[in-house]
Amino acid sequence: MGRIAGGKNRPRRGWIAAATTAALAFTAAAGDSARGRPLPARGVTPSFCALARAAGEPRIPGLRIVYLTPLGDPADANQWQNILAHQTESPAGSARRLATTQAADPSKRGVTIWVETDGTVYWATAESAIPTHGDGANRNDNRYIDNSTTYHSVVKTNTIGVEFAGNYPDVAKPPTQAQMQAWLILVRFLQERYRIPAERIYAHNWIDYKDARYCEGCALASAARKMAYVPGASCGSE
């Protein structure tokens, strides 16, 4: 989110590649069955697909997540069609406070999910709530992607937002390694839960004119798209 637009934001390619490889390996190991069904009995490890359809506070392997608001039935969630990566221009250590403020007023300026620099994820609002984020998808210059499909279309009512804290006072500071690792698990969870294809993962800078000092969310969205995760593909016939 931030106050942002253009620029360059390039974390080290080596650890992004390693994080992507690890995330894909986890998907292959975890993926099978259970779409929309109750979680397995206690003591039995549920599949990634089962977790992605679960209500309550599903514990996703490899992800440290704090539910300030528990999940419901995904069928009752808002009809999310896109995922938008933001960088909040706030200091390290601020994600929980910002998420707690969001939870108290879900429709205020902000997002559903916040990620701290240590990789901790805070799920702030109900899946049916619509926080105010983005700027109406006002970008139409095709600088980063083809904006013919995003212009005034990737908006708060159909887009779930994820904010990454820590790029203050240096707005060009890239996401931490821990944030990237968490993101590559979290984004697949969101894709599976809401059936969102990889091509509908966006950086804020791709769809809105933002701060020219850096490219907000670009490294995050690029890494997520590179995984080319296909919702439902690893879930078997159930």
CA distances from 153 to 8, 115, 145 (A): 25, 25, 14
pLDDT more than 70, % of the chain: 80
pLDDT at 65: 98
Average pLDDT over residues 18-45: 46
Which range marks the domain in which residue 97 is found? 13-227
Task: Put the strands of the sheet holding 159-164 in their side by side order.
Answer: 65-67, 121-123, 113-115, 159-164, 82-87, 201-203
Q: Give the separation between CA 175 and CA 115, rounded to whole angstroms.
A: 10
CA distance 33 to 48: 9
Q: What is the count of structural domains for the chain?
A: 1
Q: For residue range 170-216, what is the model confidence (pLDDT) as tens digits?
A: 999 999 999 999 999 999 999 999 999 999 999 999 999 999 999 99
Q: Is residue 66 part of a domain?
A: yes
pTM of structure: 0.84
Domain membership of residue 213 (yes or no) is: yes
pLDDT digits (tens, 9 = 90+) for 147-178: 999 999 999 999 999 999 999 999 999 999 99
pLDDT in tens, 104-142: 999 999 999 999 999 999 999 999 999 999 999 999 999
pLDDT score for 2: 47
Q: Find the CATH number of the domain harbouring 42.
A: 3.40.80.10
Tell me whether residue 164 is in a domain. Answer: yes
